[in-house]
Structure 1
Amino acid sequence: MRPLPFPFPLNIGTDIVHIPRIARLLARPNYLPRFTRRILCDQEQHDYHSRFSEILKARAAYNQQPPPVPADITRWLAGRFAAKEAARKAAPSGAASIGWKDVMVRVQEDGGEVWEGYGDAGDGRVAKLSISHDGEYVVATVMAAG
């Protein structure tokens, strides 16, 4: 029997992140704002600052080296990083065609997460995203129409 092609053009991307690796990056002096500016689009920046405003204000009050980045911020950023990498891999033209800020991760009202691509590479596409945290790892999978 000859195999039939799948009737829908789908792209799938998966990424896994070791949370301690992100924690080591964020432990560098003044690297937290640089990291968030590098990977989060404007809407995600707003969500990040709203979600962690109290913690960020407390960290900003330190005149010298602030304390380590809290685990909840590290886990959240690791999840966003994994989601964006998975979305880039699922992009129709491949990961090199779309940047981290071209991907926006949103939480839907039902709790499911989606990514939206922007710019020339993303064309406003919407896809389904699954993020899972387990111990020191975060894994994300994106399924997008091709």
Structure 2
Amino acid sequence: MKPLPFPFPLNIGTDIVHIPRIARLLARPNYLPRFTRRILCDQEQHDYHSRFSEILKARAAYHQQPPPVPADITRWLAGRFAAKEAARKAAPSGAASIGWKDVMVRVQEDGGRFGKDVSRRPEIVYLGNTLDGDAGDGRVAKLSISHDGEYVVATVLAAG
């Protein structure tokens, strides 16, 4: 019997990140702002600064070498990195076709049917002209992300 192709045009991407690797990168002098500017789109930059504003203000007060980047910031950034890499792999044209800022990790929080301040599942939004020349604005993919010990793993399921 001849094998049948999968009936739906879907793409999947997976990535795993070793959190200590990200911690080593962020430990380099003045690398935290460079790293966040490189991988986070504007909305994610806003989310990052809102979420960690107190920590970032305290770090900015140091005139010499600031203290190590806190573990919660490192884990959050490692998760974003893994999710974005998985999303790039799931893009119809592959990872080389889009950049870090062409995908956004979005976690909407609303009262909705789940109650006040309950997070919904994170998702990927493809931004700009990222999908085979089509305007990717608003194109959404499913994201599963998990942190365990020193690792973060992310899987993205996107329409082909």
Tell me, yes or no, whether TM beats 0.5: yes
CA distance in 2, matches of 1:17, 1:110: 29
RMSD: 2.2
* Secondary structure of the corresponding residue to residue 122 of structure 1: coil
- Aligned-residue offset at 1:6: 1.7
CA distance in 2, matches of 1:65, 1:120: 45
Q: Go from structure 1 to structure 2 and tell me whether the alpha carbon gap of 1:94 and 1:110 turns closer, same or farther (over 3 Å shift).
A: farther
Hey, which of these two has a bigger chunk of helix by percent?
Answer: 1
> 1:123 corresponds to which residue?
137
Q: Give 5+ residue unaligned stretches, structure 1.
A: 113-118
- Aligned-residue offset at 1:7: 1.4
CA distance in 1, matches of 2:111, 2:101: 22
- Identical-residue share of aligned pairs (%): 98
> 2:157 corresponds to which residue?
143
| Conservation of the 8 A alpha-carbon contact between 1:83 and 1:105 | yes
| Conservation of the 8 A alpha-carbon contact between 1:91 and 1:122 | no
CA distance in 2, matches of 1:120, 1:39: 22
CA offset digits 1:74-119 (Å, max 9, x no partner)? 000000000000000000001000000001000134899xxxxxx8
Q: Flag as ranges the 4+ runs of structure 1 deviating above 6 A.
A: none
CA distance in 1, matches of 2:67, 2:76: 18
> 2:66 corresponds to which residue?
66
Give the TM-score taking structure 1 as reference length. 0.90
| Conservation of the 8 A alpha-carbon contact between 1:98 and 1:122 | no
Give the number of aligned pairs: 140
Q: Go from structure 1 to structure 2 and tell me whether the alpha carbon gap of 1:97 and 1:124 turns closer, same or farther (over 3 Å shift).
A: farther
- Aligned-residue offset at 1:124: 3.8
Q: Go from structure 1 to structure 2 and tell me whether the alpha carbon gap of 1:139 and 1:54 turns closer, same or farther (over 3 Å shift).
A: same
- Aligned-residue offset at 1:125: 1.9
CA offset digits 1:25-74 (Å, max 9, x no partner)? 00000000000000000000000000000000000000100000000000
Q: Go from structure 1 to structure 2 and tell me whether the alpha carbon gap of 1:111 and 1:33 turns closer, same or farther (over 3 Å shift).
A: farther
CA distance in 1, matches of 2:5, 2:154: 26
Q: Go from structure 1 to structure 2 and tell me whether the alpha carbon gap of 1:35 and 1:49 turns closer, same or farther (over 3 Å shift).
A: same
| Conservation of the 8 A alpha-carbon contact between 1:10 and 1:143 | yes
